[in-house]
Amino acid sequence: MKKLVYFGVLLAEAVMCVVLCALGNVEGESIAHMMAFPFAPIGNGLRALSLSGSVGNAVAILLYVGISLLPAGVLLVHVRKKNLQWEDLLLVVLIPLLFAVLYEMINPGTLPLSPMELGMMGGDIRKAMLSCVVYSVLVGYLVLRALRLFFRAEKQKLQSYVFLLLGVLNVIFVYLVFGGCLQNFLQAVESTKAANQGTEDGLTLTYVFLFLQMLVDVLPYVLDILIVFACQHMLRELQKDAYSEETLEAAEKLTKVCGISLKVTVLSIVVFNLLQLLCGKHLRILNGFVNIPVLSIVLVLTVLLVAKLVTESKGLKDDNDMFI
């Protein structure tokens, strides 16, 4: 059931990214609205409540103070559990930051913000920028707390955390495939069409190569998704029995997937550049490039090393068992 939910989430994300790209809603004001969530809607709600009357104004003030003091509640929990750490100072920073940002959301343009350009921005962009400041502090705190948790975790817990982070990694890869790369392709098509108005009939082959370039860009991320799935399968087997035949098979499968991924990624770039060279005189745009997928290579080499270590550990255990 958990696997079905996991695949369902990734599929829903892919569909949503494709729909947003098709509708052209992944840039401009839409991005600003997403970045400002939930602070802008909270500010709008508190403003409406405040203007509804004296009782509504009192409730709005209480909610404003309560929301801004939420980090203080987390601090009190850590103090009671005697689990206060240096990174909790970010919660102290977050309290006045929330007061200021929410006040700006409720009463736009009232704070003397610096630099000057921030104060001169449009309302949506201004709110998005302020929200990003809050998110940066919040994410920084969560990451530092998570690192402390990782270093203290035992082997089984650590494997669970790695499994979870691999799932997050797949969410990012799905976005890059169906969101980032697809959006770049659609933008390239539109810019090519705009630059060749009146001569669109000869653009068919150019569009084909733009699509091929998108596939070349997408391919490393698709292969990374397959690698993550193979890693998660190996982790499941490790949690059951680190020295079982199933674990060894999962490690060998992961090794094969990594090797194939590196070869396919490199060869796809070579083939695309050669095809583009052969058809160059019929193309309006030439995008010869040497793409080195560093992220994919690092991921592949890391999991390849882990798979090799698992295989060697299994071999050493078998040797020791035979010796005994």
C-alpha span between 50 and 70 (Å, rounded): 21
* pLDDT computed for residue 235 by the predictor: 84
Q: Mind listing the pLDDT tens digit for each residue in 285-297?
A: 666 655 666 666 7
Residue 319 confidence class, pLDDT cut points 50, 70, 90: low
C-alpha span between 130 and 128 (Å, rounded): 5
Cis peptide before 115 (omega within 30 of 0): yes
Rounded to the nearest 10 degrees, how much is the dihedral formed by the CA atoms of 172, 173, 177, 180? 40
Least confident piece of the model among 38-42, 63-67, 259-263: 259-263
- Please give the average per-residue pLDDT across 93-111, as a whole number: 87
Q: Mind listing the pLDDT tens digit for each residue in 167-214?
A: 888 999 999 998 888 888 888 888 888 777 766 666 778 888 888 888
* pLDDT computed for residue 196 by the predictor: 76
* pLDDT computed for residue 7 by the predictor: 86
Chain-centroid distance, C-alpha 255:
25
